[in-house]
Structures are given as structure tokens and as C-alpha cells.
Amino acid sequence: MRFSCLATLVALLALHAAASAQGPWKVPKEELGGAIPLNVNRWYNFTDYPDDAVRADQQGYVTVSFTIGVDGRMTNCKVIRSSGYPILDAVPCKVLPKRARFTPAKDANGAPVATQGSASMSFWTVP
């Protein structure tokens, strides 16, 4: 059972803000090495914000680096900037490789090539 309707709403607002705004921090701009992100609206959802973290008012952002393959899928995800909370740090590399898709970067001849990328996921509640 979810923590509460209010906590779920707050988590939803936080993850919506993660996708559309920087939140109360200066979050680094994503770098995708020439790949084009697809389906961004499905990368995160409110249930990704762990209930225990919401209850403990754990907030912050996590930056991860990863490989974007010629198939447009993310692999080799690793945290390069911690939120300071292990429970939050675990989320991006758990969900993004399953959900994030890209049009891969292209070489000079237009052939798909693997590239490196980085992105951040924010977790925050609205006061």
C-alpha cells in the first residue's frame, strides 16, 4: 500500500518537476553525445520516488553516466554525482535502462554509433 495519497501526489509533482524543471538545485544539463532522446515522458513516474525517501524528506538529484548503443538503448549506467541518499541514488540506474530510448548518434556517413551520455534525475517535494 502506498504511503498516502498526499505523499503520492507530492512524489508525482517532484518527478514531473524532474522532467520539466531543475527543482531547487542547479542540475547539470544532460549530455547525450549526439543521440536524440525519445519517449522522455515515460522515463520517470511518481512511483519511482521511494516511499521511505518521501517519508524521510530525502531530496536531491542524482547524475548518472551511461552508454547509448547503436540500438538506442542505455547500458553501463553508473552514478557520477550522488544525492547523498543511497535509496535515491539507486533509482536512475534501475529504471532508466529499462525505459529510456534514443535515436543513436550517427557517424559522418550516417551510420549509428555508440556514444556516452549523462543525465540527472531530481527528487524533491513541493513545500
User: Residues 65-81: pLDDT tens digits?
Assistant: 999 999 999 999 999 99
Q: What is the pLDDT, as a whole number, of residue 9?
A: 37
Residue 7 has pLDDT above 50, yes or no: no
Question: Could you tell me what percent of the chain has a pLDDT over 90?
Answer: 68
Banded model confidence at residue 33, pLDDT cuts 50, 70, 90: very high
Residue 54 has pLDDT above 50, yes or no: yes
Beta bridge partners of 120: 63
Domain residue ranges of the chain, discontinuous segments joined by +? 5-123
Residue 62 has pLDDT above 80, yes or no: yes
Phi and psi angles of residue 24, each rounded to the nearest 5 degrees, phi first = -80, 5
Instruction: Write down the pTM of the prediction.
Output: 0.79
CATH H-level superfamily of 5-123: TonB (3.30.2420.10)
Rounded CA gap, 43 and 66, in Å? 15
117 DSSP 8-state letter: E
Rounded CA gap, 35 and 40, in Å? 13
Banded model confidence at residue 57, pLDDT cuts 50, 70, 90: very high
Of residues 4 and 113, more confidence is placed in: 113
